Amino acid sequence: MTLLPLEVPERLRDIAKVVNTYSTCLGIEKSLQLAIDGGDDVGNKHIYIRILGYTIHYVPTEKGLNTVVDEISSCVDDSAILEVGKLYYNHYIRAFRLRAKRSRTPTPHNDESPSSFHTVIEMNNHTFVDVPQSHADAQKNALIRDQYRCVVTGIYDHPSVKLNRELIRLLDSDHILQTAHTQCTHILYDPSNTMDPGSANPEFATTMWGIMHCFGYDSLPDELSGPKIHRLENVMTLAPQIHTKFERLELWLVATDEVNKYMLDAAHSFTLRGCPEYVTFATTDEVKLPVPSPTYLAIHAACAKVVHLSGAAEYIDKLDRDMERCMTLDPDGASASLLEYAIFELEARE
C-alpha cells in the first residue's frame, strides 16, 4: 500500500478542478491515516480514497478523468466521496480480481484433428476458427497468431509442438528452446457472460459496464458480449506463470511510442525476473489474426496500477486467506468485512 503522491501528474497541474479535487482526496487520506495511527478502525475507507486518487493518476481517458473528478466534486461530504470509492472498489477493482478466480483455461479438444501435422501452415489451416464461440476456439486462433509461443517469454506450446513435425524438428535442433502448457489469456471479460459455466449477476454486470461507459468506453459491452469475448483482440498466448500474474493484476503491459510495442511492468520488480523488458505483438494477417487491442490492455494496466498502489490487492488477498480459514463468524462483529466480501462474491456469481 502506498500513500497518494502529493501532486497530480504534471500534465494535470494546470487544471484547477482536478487539482482541487485531488487535494480533497489527500485531505481525506490524511485524516484517515491519523485515525489509523491513533488506533482507530477505519475499515476500508483508506483504500477507497486511494482508489479514487490513483484513478485520477492512471485513468486511461480524458472522459474517465472528468467523470471521476465530477463524481468526487459533486459529493456533499467526505462520507459520500468514500461511497464513490467503495463503488469503484467493488465494481472496477474487485471485478478484475474476481475474474482471475473465476476464469477457466481448458485445453481445446480437437477430436477431428489428425494425430500430427507435417507443417505449421497445415496445422494453421486445419485449426483456424472463423468465428470463435468458445475459449477453446479462442485458444486455437491465438496459438496461430502467436506462432504457438507465449508472447512474453517465447516458450512454445507443448501440446502444439507434439502435434507438429516441423515444430518438433525445430525444437530438437535448438536445445535452448523450451515448451510449456500455455494458456489462452483474456485481457478483459464480459461480467454478464463469463468464461465459466455460471453467469454473473445482471446488476453487477450493469454497474461494471456503467463504470467503463463513464471512462469513455461506450462500445465495450457490444464488443465483448457473449462469444465476442473470445475475439483475438482480447486474447494472448501466455506461459502458465505469466498467465497467472497477468490475471491477478500483478503484471501488465504499458504502451510505448512504437505501435504494438509494450513495456512489461509490475508491482514488484522480482515479478519481472526472467521476462524481457519489452513485448512486441506481430501478425501475419491483420484482418484474420489481429493483435491484442491497445485499448483493452490500457484498461487492464490502469486497473492493475490502482489495485496495487491503493492497497486493494493486498487487502483482497488477505480476505481470500481469511475465507479459506474461517469456519464461523465472530459474534462481536469483527467478521463484518469478511461477510461483506463473501456476500459480494456470491451475488456476482448468481
pLDDT surpasses 50 at 345: no
Distance CA 141, CA 299 (A): 23
Q: Any alpha helices (H) in 187-293, and if so which ranges?
A: 202-214, 220-223, 240-247
**pLDDT for the residue numbered 214:** 75
Could you tell me the pTM of the whole model? 0.84
Higher pLDDT, 340 or 73: 73
pLDDT cut 90: percent of the chain above it: 65
Set of cell numbers at residue 278 = 519489452
pLDDT surpasses 90 at 330: no
pLDDT cut 70: percent of the chain above it: 79
pLDDT surpasses 80 at 347: no
Distance CA 2, CA 180 (A): 36
**pLDDT for the residue numbered 220:** 86
Report pLDDT digits (tens) over 228-271.
999 999 999 999 999 999 998 999 999 999 999 999 999 899 99
**pLDDT for the residue numbered 97:** 65
Query: Which region among 97-111, 128-142, 267-281 has the lowest average model confidence (pLDDT)?
Result: 97-111
Cα angle at 340 between 338 and 342, to 5 degrees? 70
**pLDDT for the residue numbered 8:** 96
Distance CA 339, CA 164 (A): 51
**pLDDT for the residue numbered 130:** 94
Set of cell numbers at residue 73 = 466534486
Phi/psi of residue 72, nearest 5 degrees: -70, -45
pLDDT surpasses 90 at 205: no
Report pLDDT digits (tens) over 24-53.
999 999 999 999 999 998 888 999 999 999
**pLDDT for the residue numbered 339:** 44
